[in-house]
Amino acid sequence: MRTWLTISMFFSFFCACTNKMVAKKYGIGTNNQITEREAYIDFIKQKKFFPVEQMLYTSRKGYIPFHLNVMQRDSSVVYMGTYINDSLRILKPEFLQDNQSCSGRLQTEIERILQANPAVAFKTENTEPLAIYDLHYLINKEPFLLSKSGNKQHIFLIFSQGYGTYYNQFYKDVEKFYQQYASKANLYVITLDPVYQFK
């Protein structure tokens, strides 16, 4: 019993130290202090992992519903899902639901959707309409309306400054892979940062 307790305490200490090292290495949780929209756009451009034209943000009225409905209910950190229309989403497979923060699994799922024949029927689920989040394009503040473009799917990723550099390679890989299949899908990235407050 005492040995088990010692092993458990060591493991807990090791995990805490490892988490701190990972957070420090990738800058996870750091606050960038950007408060101007143009500076934020420049920040995204410097990252060079997806075009700023693909970036969306929620308005003041959509910010809280987005965090409550999407981020707190769905444990996926960087992948919101793939939508057929404003309120119909492709059901995430079981292998992804087991670990939705694994970038390898997320990339596999996105590749599966992009490579599939559009005639293949995915299992879908109804969800809150995207319109309730009052999304806007970062580049020009124009309202975002989900286009009805035939058989195209609409892939939504999530970004935050607080992620540091941990998911940078994931974003780059998905963007590169997406470019090969841009005729079959649209890719959007929604920021968790409160851009609506920026000057």
Q: Quick: pLDDT tens for 166-192.
A: 788 888 888 888 888 888 889 999 998
- If we measure between CA atoms, which residue out of 42, 104, 86 comes closest to residue 188? 86
> Do residues 106 and 178 make contact, with C-beta atoms less than 8 angstroms apart?
no
Tens of pLDDT along 15-60? 344 444 444 444 445 556 788 999 999 988 988 888 999 999 999 9
Over residues 98-115, mean pLDDT: 79
Please tell me the pTM assigned to this model.
0.81
Question: Can you give the pLDDT at residue 2?
Answer: 38
Instruction: Determine the pLDDT at residue 149.
Output: 54
**Tokens 């943000």 identify what position?**
57
For the chain, the DSSP string reads: -HHHHHHHHHHHHHHHHHHHHHHHHHTTT-------HHHHHHHHHHH-SS-GGGEEEE-HHHHHHHIIIIITT---SSEEEEEEETTEEEPPPHHHHT-TT-HHHHHHHHHHHHHS-TTS---EEE---GGGG-EEETTT-PBP-----TT-EEEEEEE-GGGTTTTHHHHHHHHHHHHHTTTTEEEEEEE-S-GGG--
Q: Report pLDDT digits (tens) over 63-99.
A: 999 988 887 776 567 888 889 888 888 888 777 766 6
Residue 70 has what pLDDT?
81
Average pLDDT, the chain: 78
In which band, very low, low, confident or very high, does the pLDDT at 133 lie, cut at 50, 70 and 90? Answer: very high
Number of neighbours of residue 107 by Cβ within 10 angstroms: 16
Tokens of 63: 């910010």
Closest residue by Cα to residue 175 from 44, 57, 34: 44
Q: Is the pLDDT of residue 62 over 80?
A: yes
Q: Which pLDDT band holds residue 13 (cuts at 50, 70, 90)?
A: very low
Beta bridge mates, 81? 156
Lowest mean pLDDT among 89-98, 108-117, 120-129, 188-197: 89-98
Greater confidence, 35 or 100? Answer: 35
